[in-house]
Amino acid sequence: MAAAKTLPSNPSYAMVLLIYKLGMPKFRRFKVFKLMVLVSVITIALAAAGCGNPAGQELVVYSARNEAFVQPLTDSFQEETGIRVRLLSSSEALVNKIVSEKGNVQADLFFSNDAGAMEFLRLEGALQANGSAALEVIDPRFRAEDGSWTGLSARTRVLIYNKDLIGEEEMPSDIWELTDPKWKGQFMITRGGNSSMVTHVAGLRMAWGDEKALEWVQGIKENAGAIVNGHTDIRRAVGAGEYRFGLVNNYYYHLQLNELENNNVGVIYPDQEGMGAFVNVGGIALLAGAPNEANAKMFIEWLLEPEQQKVFAYNSREVPLNPEVEAAPEASPISSYRIMDISLQELGIYWIDAKHLIEEAGLDLGI
């Protein structure tokens, strides 16, 4: 028996071929042929439309965070949901880009290192509200009241010190002590434009008022032995014994502690007898007019699940804001030390002019 022939995969072509094989009269063949051509054209047009990335299958994320922390999460989300994620990584300069795109929104979400920046975007009308119940796992102090942005992990301002050069009992116990001339030349800070420095100053403006905050910036600028670009420079120099201590975010202490060498470092959570340590957050914001709003909200809810919270915090060495998620072994949960009693949503109005105050104090924004 002869093997059965398989019809071509194109259904219109296959139908025409079948018509001819069945011996249909010529005039009918022609009418049916025209109908099949029309169907084929429509099929091709629909297929072409589907070849792009329709809104239902895409998510565009701007990120000011280290790509190594964010990429594993976006890859996992894409794999789990089939939604293609386009991650565009840069710096906190993305804040200005987002504001400039308000009339022509190009992204759905913004990963930020900084509550001040996210709150500034909310005040600028560049974010939209999100009423998802999933946000309730985050303490209200660490998210916007309207849900337009939420913190994901905590970063506390601390003093990392070299244990070979100075003992814990000798270290300053609060950040105001850094203005004391006795510490001149013994510690390191970042440039004034570092995003963590800017938001820390904004928090101090809120707690102390502008006059005292200005005096503090002037004092640390005068006393610092080195002013460097970023916290990695500080942790490595302190670990190597080049300076006694430095002002950093707590996860830089965790990172140095895990180095194979130069890791004999300790940490001071300052102001435990006073106002408490300043806590900023790394978080995510929902952009107003997001082209893929449903996918963006789905991604935020997915990020707030314990599994993702743990991955994010462990990768960055920050502390999960969800109290049910365990921090990395070397990271102290924020419930274990005193923190400033402020809502980060209030930071926006202080953040806007913080750079001006820093410049007025004489601390250069760049190096």
Total-model pTM: 0.81
Co-location of 114 and 186 in the same domain:
no
Task: Check residue 43 and give its pLDDT.
Answer: 37
Long-range contacts of 165-169 (CB under 8 A, 24+ apart): 165/241, 165/244, 166/244, 166/245, 168/266, 168/268
Task: Check residue 297 and give its pLDDT.
Answer: 98
Co-location of 300 and 328 in the same domain:
yes
- Give the structural domain span for 88: 56-154+280-332
Nearest to 252 by CA among 157, 321, 138, 122: 157
Co-location of 65 and 107 in the same domain:
yes
Task: Check residue 179 and give its pLDDT.
Answer: 98
Task: Check residue 140 and give its pLDDT.
Answer: 95
Tokens matching residue 105: 């929104």
Task: Check residue 324 and give its pLDDT.
Answer: 84
Give the distance from CA 10 to its chain's centroid.
47
Task: Please report whether residue 28 resides in a domain.
Answer: no
Q: What is the CATH number of the domain that holds 256?
A: 3.40.190.10
Burial of 235 from C-beta contacts in 10 A (0-12 / 13-18 / 19+): buried
Helix (H) or strand (E) holding 204: helix 195-208
219 contacts 140 by C-beta, under 8 angstroms: no
| Cα–Cα dist 350/35, whole Å | 68
Question: Could you state, in chain order, the average pLDDT of each consecutive group of 10 residues for the chain (367 residues)?
Answer: 36 37 44 41 37 65 92 95 96 92 96 94 97 96 97 95 98 98 98 95 96 98 97 98 98 95 98 97 96 97 92 83 84 92 92 96 92
Dihedral sign, CA of 196, 202, 205, 210? positive
Task: Please report whether residue 337 resides in a domain.
Answer: no
Co-location of 72 and 84 in the same domain:
yes
Task: Please report whether residue 4 resides in a domain.
Answer: no
Task: Check residue 129 and give its pLDDT.
Answer: 98
Co-location of 125 and 64 in the same domain:
yes
313 contacts 153 by C-beta, under 8 angstroms: yes
| Cα–Cα dist 148/284, whole Å | 9
Co-location of 79 and 163 in the same domain:
no
Task: Please report whether residue 42 resides in a domain.
Answer: no
| Cα–Cα dist 49/55, whole Å | 12
**What domain count does the chain have?**
2
Task: Please report whether residue 134 resides in a domain.
Answer: yes
Task: Check residue 315 and give its pLDDT.
Answer: 79
Co-location of 104 and 168 in the same domain:
no
Task: Check residue 287 and give its pLDDT.
Answer: 98
Co-location of 254 and 294 in the same domain:
no
Co-location of 209 and 248 in the same domain:
yes
Task: Please report whether residue 108 resides in a domain.
Answer: yes
Q: How far lies 240's CA from each of 220, 259, 263, 295, in Å?
A: 22, 11, 8, 46
Tokens matching residue 203: 């928090």
Task: Please report whether residue 80 resides in a domain.
Answer: yes
Co-location of 172 and 146 in the same domain:
no
207 contacts 342 by C-beta, under 8 angstroms: yes
Co-location of 160 and 234 in the same domain:
yes
Task: Check residue 2 and give its pLDDT.
Answer: 38
Co-location of 180 and 268 in the same domain:
yes
Per-residue model confidence as pLDDT tens digits over 285-325: 999 999 999 999 999 999 999 999 888 777 778 888 988 88
Task: Please report whether residue 181 resides in a domain.
Answer: yes
Task: Check residue 56 and give its pLDDT.
Answer: 53
